[in-house]
Amino acid sequence: MEAKEAKLSFENALGKLETIVESMESGEVPLAELLARFEEGSRLLKVCETRLKEAELRIEQLKKSKDGAVLAKFETGRDE
């Protein structure tokens, strides 16, 4: 994942991915650009999957804690 994409929020990555899909579905994109958009979309999909996995882990941590509050800092593995 590129550094620029690693800093995207789930919502921003999903919005960009939706825009790419819409443009690809229009049928008006030349093949070379279509391939470039597909590659970018694949990277954005990985960003979305990563953010969802992070959220799932966080939820699991909260479920396992006795009172619903976790005092330890949650590490996502990305710079903010």
Each residue's pLDDT tens digit, 19-33: 999 999 998 889 999
CA dihedral over 54, 60, 63, 69, signed as positive or negative: negative
How many of the other CB atoms lie within 10 Å of CB of 50? Answer: 19
Q: What is the pLDDT of residue 60?
A: 85
Residue 74 has pLDDT above 80, yes or no: no
Per-domain boundaries in the chain: 3-64
| CATH number for domain 3-64, candidates 3.40.50, 1.10.287, 1.10.10, 3.30.420 | 1.10.287
Question: Which residue type, as a one-letter code, is found at position 13?
Answer: A
CA 47 to mean position of chain CA atoms: 3
| Between residues 15 and 69, the one the model is more confident about | 15
pLDDT, averaged across the chain = 84
The pLDDT value recorded for residue 75 is 67
Quick: pLDDT tens for 27-50.
888 999 999 999 999 999 999 999
